[in-house]
Structure 1
């Protein structure tokens, strides 16, 4: 765990891989806070043009001279060791920071709200930011997805509140120093980094151990892992612990009777939530955002009303279009629990019609660990079509293919990428049905293709 840096100590900052959603978020806020920022990426991405317009010096392609007079370098997680800019930075003895370290320095003097958890981080962080903005607090925020209601995924606000998504996948959330920490859930995932489920749980214990005595942990009582974390934290007595959820003993009680019948209670009053996003998981995320706002002094009724302005985050049950009466959505879900939640949301939107999912497993290691669980989640759809594994950062593992999932499907099959996948979806979907593309890889490109083929 790196000691927390101050923003002023970084000097001129160069970002290698500045076009990435997380990297551009930090760069955008640094520019707004008066830091001299430069950056490069392999491709000329739209966000790079935005950063250049804001005052950053941007280069397309990697070259050692792009470093210029940088005093600190931030390297994206996908940057290879032989990248010429990274090699030049190390040869010059410049400090090279992980994105999380740069973000931690950016928000070192703020009241920090972090949202951690195996699932739901981006949506919940987005809800908190939208709610606080609607309530007039104007927070700074950095989110791992674009948010339509905010227009961007990161911004410098006028208040001293900073809302950030805290990623546990590589342990980098331990670089933050939150005042309020939301934990949506704790499950075994990212075992390629952690090795064991016990190591995952231990990392969350370390994370909440960073909270100060005047801070607060807000944990989901409906999730066994988060509930256990709350219990262990309360037993240590080092910070306040509040829970939210549908359980009778939750401090912030959620009632979810479906659309039009959702409310939260702080123990004294009930407040109706008119949510524009479906699913129990989103109702729980909203309860977490409500709890954060109340902790920060927002009037409870105003907080509940503000949640009605949240319209979703990019790739979180995102509507892509419609044709022939068939609605197409896309979701980033890449863990069995997330897949099940996305399909539950689709079912609530479909009414009595069918739900068809096109799923792309993400990572060989995750497929190996959770093949049966993925199949059980996919079996809640009427039809499940599965693409080959998206490898991302991993090399193939012998014997690990998507058939580890499809062999357990009751109404599904393996499909080839491209037009075969589109045709397979069109063959099963009918008027009124929902089609959902799911996964963290390039499956997201299929939504628009399916809509186009439907004539939408």
Structure 2
């Protein structure tokens, strides 16, 4: 039976429709025939992609944007209580639906794979979406980043599989009931919502508890993921598949061979070796691909077919994405904003390019709460680069915290002997980088905010 649109989502209005998670749900609903509308703070390529599907997208937030026949208002946890469209919906008794509930409704009746973890969710979900599509299975998917074009973060497919990125930041992933779940790693993050690592574990345990009876949990080699597996091992109707390089792994990674900006991966599945290529460098991306392989096998897909299909994955935006080369300088973009991610991406690039080229980082911290808790560790990660420029904190949904600035990161990096420069004006970055670079260098724009916009600016300046 083909998936349908729930009545409450027949004419939905999305507040913040241009966001990575919200736009994906809106796109799938539009492809299923819903009359989608919404608003966002600014226009974007994503908004244009939604309009191309027939959605109505308003720029700015105002009560009059909410249509009189709207059947629901879809929100994320980032939407403030005083948003005029939200207050208008409440005044008119229009149902308010959290985006996680909307996504859960879209997955209903399908064989769902939910990809969770503190890091690597978007990449692993993308790998599954691309490889399953390549196998002709026509999956539906909702990803927290674009594959290769604006709006490509989601798709309604005709197949029986739905692949979804499962966000732990606000506990909303506890609303899903997948057949297969992946947990890549578990670390303390999202400090505005979690007071301790124990709270994080409890949240992930609640997520795992929702896996359908007879389903599968795939866990990575990260100590936090293995700890989670130990905590839920008593559930008899759940299969646990451990992925990693350890001898006791159920899907064992035998070898990861760097090949420039790619890796060749050899895995052992039930005494049979399979070799495939991962098109992005770094051990962590190879592990992500193997977790995707394990999830597909759990759904009954032949490992050889899926391993071959995984080789067709060419990357996702903002995950070590090459933005271009100018005057012999490569500019690459990274979404990394947690110290573990920063360390992994910098290590991957150093392994890919070797000891010769210099790696210069333009880093924009994301969130005051994260910087307050992890600023020292961020500084230590930046010490792996040859030189860094640190911008002011990107606040996103948060208000400033007294005493919490980028100086926390800069001081920690400097204490490690790193070459770090503070820059408060992002518009000054292209000239600053042009003065720092020489042919053969690599520039990495890094962070979860609008630092990604700087890549094209830097390239144009280098070309001038």
* TM exceeding 0.5: yes
Is the alpha carbon distance of 1:52 and 1:295 closer, same or farther for their aligned partners in structure 2, counting shifts above 3 Å? same
Is the alpha carbon distance of 1:419 and 1:57 closer, same or farther for their aligned partners in structure 2, counting shifts above 3 Å? closer
CA contact (8 A) 1:135 1:298 kept: no
Shift of 1:194: 1.0
Is the alpha carbon distance of 1:317 and 1:390 closer, same or farther for their aligned partners in structure 2, counting shifts above 3 Å? same
2:213 maps to what in 1? 213
Give yes or no for the alignment of 1:95 onto 2:95: yes
Shift of 1:419: 4.8
Shift of 1:351: 1.8
2:308 maps to what in 1? 305
Q: Alpha-carbon deviations, 1:27-65, whole Å to 9, x = none?
A: 111122233323233434333343334333444443335
Give yes or no for the alignment of 1:276 onto 2:276: no
Q: Alpha-carbon deviations, 1:357-397, whole Å to 9, x = none?
A: 11111111111111221122111111122112112222222
Give yes or no for the alignment of 1:315 onto 2:323: no
CA contact (8 A) 2:45 2:150 kept: no
Shift of 1:191: 1.3
Give yes or no for the alignment of 1:386 onto 2:385: no
Aligned-partner Cα distance in 2 for 1:93–1:326: 56
Q: Alpha-carbon deviations, 1:268-317, whole Å to 9, x = none?
A: 21111112111111100110111112112222111111111111111111
Aligned-partner Cα distance in 2 for 1:102–1:422: 41
Shift of 1:78: 3.7
Q: Which moved more, 1:200-209 or 1:76-85?
A: 76-85
Q: Alpha-carbon deviations, 1:247-270, whole Å to 9, x = none?
A: 111111112132254211113211
Shift of 1:115: 0.4
Shift of 1:434: 1.3
Is the alpha carbon distance of 1:113 and 1:337 closer, same or farther for their aligned partners in structure 2, counting shifts above 3 Å? same
CA contact (8 A) 1:130 1:150 kept: no
Shift of 1:8: 4.2
Is the alpha carbon distance of 1:370 and 1:84 closer, same or farther for their aligned partners in structure 2, counting shifts above 3 Å? closer
Aligned residue among 337, 343, 356 for 2:346: 343
Give yes or no for the alignment of 1:452 onto 2:452: no
CA contact (8 A) 2:100 2:173 kept: yes
Q: Which moved more, 1:14-23 or 1:225-234?
A: 14-23
Q: Alpha-carbon deviations, 1:337-362, whole Å to 9, x = none?
A: 00011101211232222211111111
1:51 maps to what in 2? 50
Matching of residues 356-395 of structure 1 within 5 Å: 356-395=360-399
Aligned-partner Cα distance in 2 for 1:10–1:344: 44
CA contact (8 A) 1:290 1:304 kept: yes
Aligned-partner Cα distance in 1 for 2:130–2:136: 10
CA contact (8 A) 1:67 1:85 kept: no
Q: Which moved more, 1:300-309 or 1:392-401?
A: 392-401
Is the alpha carbon distance of 1:347 and 1:337 closer, same or farther for their aligned partners in structure 2, counting shifts above 3 Å? same
Shift of 1:96: 0.2
Question: Mind listing any 5+ residue stretches in structure 1 that lack a counterpart?
Answer: none
Shift of 1:10: 4.1
Aligned-partner Cα distance in 1 for 2:160–2:7: 16
Aligned-partner Cα distance in 1 for 2:151–2:279: 17
Cα RMSD between the aligned structures?
Answer: 2.0
Aligned-partner Cα distance in 2 for 1:58–1:377: 39
Aligned-partner Cα distance in 2 for 1:150–1:89: 29
1:34 maps to what in 2? 33
Give yes or no for the alignment of 1:288 onto 2:291: yes
